[in-house]
Amino acid sequence: METVLLVEDDIDVMDVTSLLLEDAGYLVLQAKNATQALRLAEEHPDICAVFTDVNLREGLNGIELAYELRARGNWASVVVVSGDLGWADTPLKEDMRFLSKPYGRKTLLAVVHEACVQTQTHQRP
Amino acid sequence: MSPTDDNLLRLLPRSDLQKDPDGGLSSAGYQLLVQSVVDYAIYMLDPNGFITSWNSGARQIKGYEASEVLGRHFSMFYTEEDRLFGAPAKALLIARETGRFNGEAWRVRRDGSSFRALVAIDAIRDAAGELIGFAKITRDVTERWEAQAQLEESERRYRLFVEGVPGHALCMLDNEGRIRDWNPGAKRLTGYDASDIMGAPLTVLFPPDELSRTDIDRALSTAATVGNYEADHWNLRKDGSRFLAHVHLRSLRDEAGVLHGCACIMQDISEQRATETELEEIRAQLFQAQKLDALGQLTGGVAHDFNNILQALTSGLDIAQMRLQRGQIDVAGEQIDKAMRSVERAMHLTRRLLAFARRQPLMPSCVDVGQLVQSMTELLERTVGKRILIAIQLADVPLHVMCDGNQLETALLNLAINGRDAMPDGGTLRISTELDRSDAKGQAYVMLVVEDTGIGMSREMAARAFDPFFTTKPQGQGTGLGLSIIHGFVKQSQGMVRLRSRLGIGTRVELCLPSCKPTES
């Protein structure tokens, strides 16, 4: 079973996104902020994709979190999502991807799947 | 009897020289009279103009003793110019031919000073009609002449003044309200020449409808009783067009309090009024622009929230659909209920946004500040973002202020945005209301305070904080108009703004607005 780290501070969004991912067969780790996310990432080195909101209530934002994970040697692909399109222009690394809210179930699953494949190809060679 | 006196007596009709049976003056009496007159120079000339007598009045006025002038030609009293012009001879000629010469001219005293003289020269003839000399009576009228000259000068200046103000119509009205004086400004304003309008009632300058003419009649009686009347009225030009005029009537009373009509001063204020309207429009536009600017900052946050709601909604419906396809009707229903709640959240948000964004006329009313702050809280929270805690402390009792609620909302939002920008690393934005001290006139004030725990400003920066276009924000992030417009709005509402700031501690802005009592409705 592939593990996805979901970082989201909106409970409603967290609930439904988790449900969709779990229904598709993922193991979902929930984090409300960057601090929790970093801790979970350390505890679960098998994470295949980080799916994070940009605007987080406290601490680092989603993009900063992605860079911090890289800095800590975590190579899981990161999908940053935001309802604020202002973030869409922020430069991201090749293996990071921006997704704007709202997105549908198919997009969610396709993006997460792609991220997991990318993580695996990155780790394999 | 000296020869001089003898000559003088020839002035008088022969019969009078005889002793008067009715107790009238004797010739000696006349001598005494003439001699003692000091206000008039009375003296005699022989037919060629040589002085033959001299009274005390002559001595007083001209400064010569009798011994200095007797036998000399009377032209010695004339000015150089008059002598060159031949005035003395002409005067005698007229007196000889017509019996009398009257004139007014400058004469020279013994000390060289000049005086204004009112002169009468009478030809004296004996019973046979033979010219025996002239009686000359001179009066010093310098004072009267100066007063007159002053009056003329004042009149001339008044004319210059009245005619020199083409922007104002100045006219004089008599006690019946008829026009008695008309300046070029009045002609320019109304199109009427003085000849058209002189004697016409003031009411012809106003539209013929009953109301405005009654108004003018009332204005005239107000001016007559109170002394003064001032108001704006529509005026009618000669060509039938209208203009808005500021009309000022002032009653004219002399020192004894007698009414001598009324001065009417009118000024065309159509343009001024148009400029004011235009200014008001620009102010409204500027306010709207500022509001849209604030709204732009607001929508970023709101769009984010809105997309979050849509996200929960989309995913929720995705799940419900999934469940339905699998026949799990109950759990699908749960998701649909959740989705409905998300829709409500979205509706609530858009309603708040629209309430803020809609264009409203600027209209002061009695606004409940606490209620206004509460209704704005959600928008404010979205605007400042999650890193900033908004702490609201409202007074225990409802506080009302007299101002435009829409502008107060924008002011509050702008202050919140300023607070947010001053706290890039998060902090607390404290919004509170309290009753402020009353001023000397007993007007109570309510204070709306917005305080941040941000970077603060130096004393120099704080001093310029209300200047238009002054901003501490990076280029492109602030117009520098927020506080300036807040200042304008609060001033206009008869309130005041206080700002206190310390570097590294934070900034506190107090909006003090006049308190009011809400009307029962």
The domain that contains B416 carries what CATH number?
Answer: 3.30.565.10
What does the pLDDT read at residue B96? 92
What does the pLDDT read at residue B466? 78
What confidence tens digit (pLDDT) does each residue in B217-235 have?
Answer: 888 888 888 888 988 888 8
Asked whether residue B302 falls in the same domain as residue B398, the answer is: no
What does the pLDDT read at residue B208? 81
Confidence bin at B301 (pLDDT 50/70/90) = low
Asked whether residue B138 falls in the same domain as residue B172, the answer is: no
Is residue B14 scored above 50 in pLDDT?
no
Q: Which site among A8, A21, A56, A101 would you substitute to test the B interface, given the most B Cβ atoms closer than 10 Å to its Cβ?
A: A101
In a domain, B205, yes or no: yes
What confidence tens digit (pLDDT) does each residue in B102-137 have?
Answer: 999 999 999 999 999 999 999 999 889 899 999 999
What confidence tens digit (pLDDT) does each residue in B171-186 have?
Answer: 889 988 899 988 888 8
Average of per-residue pLDDT across B58-76: 92
CA distances from residue B482 to B294, B410, B412, B486, B505 in whole angstroms, order as listed: 9, 9, 10, 6, 21
Domain that holds residue B61: 37-145
Confidence bin at B481 (pLDDT 50/70/90) = low
CB contact under 8 A, A103 and B386: no
Q: How many domains does chain B have?
A: 4
Asked if the C-beta of A9 comes within 8 angstroms of chain B's C-beta atoms, the answer is yes
Asked whether residue B245 falls in the same domain as residue B296, the answer is: no
Strand-pairing partners, residue B364, are B404
DSSP secondary structure string for all residues of B412-460: HHHHHHHHHHH-TT-EEEEEEEEEEPP-TT---EEEEEEEE-S----HH
CB contact under 8 A, B386 and A57: yes
Contacts of B312 in chain A (CB under 8 A): 10, 12-13, 15-16
Put simply, whether the predicted model's pTM sits higher than 0.80 gets the answer no
In a domain, B376, yes or no: yes
The minimum CA-CA distance between B372 and chain A, rounded to whole Å, is 26
Contacts of A17 in chain B (CB under 8 A): 311, 315
Is residue A50 scored above 90 in pLDDT?
yes
Average of per-residue pLDDT across A47-54: 93
CB B373 within 8 A of CB B392: yes
In a domain, B31, yes or no: no
Tokens 């033959």 belong to which residue?
A: B52
> Which among B300, B306, B313 has the least Cβ separation from residue A86?
B300
Asked if the C-beta of A20 comes within 8 angstroms of chain B's C-beta atoms, the answer is yes
Asked if the C-beta of B305 comes within 8 angstroms of chain A's C-beta atoms, the answer is yes
Asked whether residue B331 falls in the same domain as residue B208, the answer is: no
Q: Work out how many CB contacts closer than 8 A connect A with B.
A: 79
Is residue A99 scored above 60 in pLDDT?
yes
Nearest CA in chain B to A83: B304
Asked whether residue B209 falls in the same domain as residue B323, the answer is: no
CB contact under 8 A, A103 and B311: yes
> Which among B342, B386, B426 has the least Cβ separation from residue A12?
B342
**What is the rounded average pLDDT for all residues in chain A?**
88
Asked whether residue B501 falls in the same domain as residue B369, the answer is: yes
Is residue B477 scored above 70 in pLDDT?
no
In a domain, B28, yes or no: no
What confidence tens digit (pLDDT) does each residue in B456-467 have?
Answer: 888 887 877 777
Percent of all residues in chain B with a pLDDT value above 90, rounded to a whole number: 35
Asked whether residue B466 falls in the same domain as residue B367, the answer is: yes
User: B246-250, B325-329, B380-384: which has the minimum mean pLDDT?
Assistant: B380-384
What does the pLDDT read at residue B68? 92
Instruction: Report ipTM for this prediction.
Output: 0.87
Whole-number Å distance between alpha carbons of B422 and B419 = 5
What does the pLDDT read at residue B5? 47
Residue scoring higher pLDDT (A41 or B358): A41
Peptide bond connecting B166 to the previous residue in cis, omega within 30 degrees of 0: no
Q: Which site among B297, B306, B313, B314 would you substitute to test the A interface, given the most A Cβ atoms closer than 10 Å to its Cβ?
A: B314
In a domain, B18, yes or no: no
Contacts of B319 in chain A (CB under 8 A): 16, 19-20, 23, 105
The DSSP H or E segment spanning B197 is helix B194-197
Asked whether residue B373 falls in the same domain as residue B515, the answer is: yes
Whole-number Å distance between alpha carbons of A103 and A85 = 13
In a domain, B4, yes or no: no
CB contact under 8 A, A13 and B316: no
> Which among A10, A84, A104 has the least Cβ separation from residue B303?
A84
Nearest CA in chain A to B319: A20
Nearest CA in chain B to A108: B315
Whole-number Å distance between alpha carbons of B311 and A17 = 9
Contacts of B343 in chain A (CB under 8 A): none
What confidence tens digit (pLDDT) does each residue in A7-37 have?
Answer: 998 888 999 999 999 999 999 999 999 999 9
In a domain, B30, yes or no: no
What confidence tens digit (pLDDT) does each residue in B361-415 have?
Answer: 567 889 999 999 998 888 888 888 888 999 999 999 999 999 988 889 888 988 9
Whole-number Å distance between alpha carbons of B16 and A123 = 155
What does the pLDDT read at residue B51? 94
CB contact under 8 A, B307 and A55: no
Structure token pair of residue B182: 């008309």
- Pairing outcome for strands B400-404 and B364-368: antiparallel
Is residue B23 scored above 60 in pLDDT?
no
Angle between helices B270-325 and B329-357 (to 10 degrees): 170
**What is the rounded average pLDDT for all residues in chain B?**
84
Confidence bin at B297 (pLDDT 50/70/90) = low
Is residue B299 scored above 50 in pLDDT?
yes
Confidence bin at B348 (pLDDT 50/70/90) = confident
Domain boundary among B359, B382, B416: B359
Domain boundary among B86, B110, B145: B145
Asked whether residue B393 falls in the same domain as residue B462, the answer is: yes
Interface of A with B in 42-81 (CB under 8 A): 55-58
Contacts of B300 in chain A (CB under 8 A): 84, 86
Asked if the C-beta of B148 comes within 8 angstroms of chain A's C-beta atoms, the answer is no
Asked whether residue B260 falls in the same domain as residue B301, the answer is: no
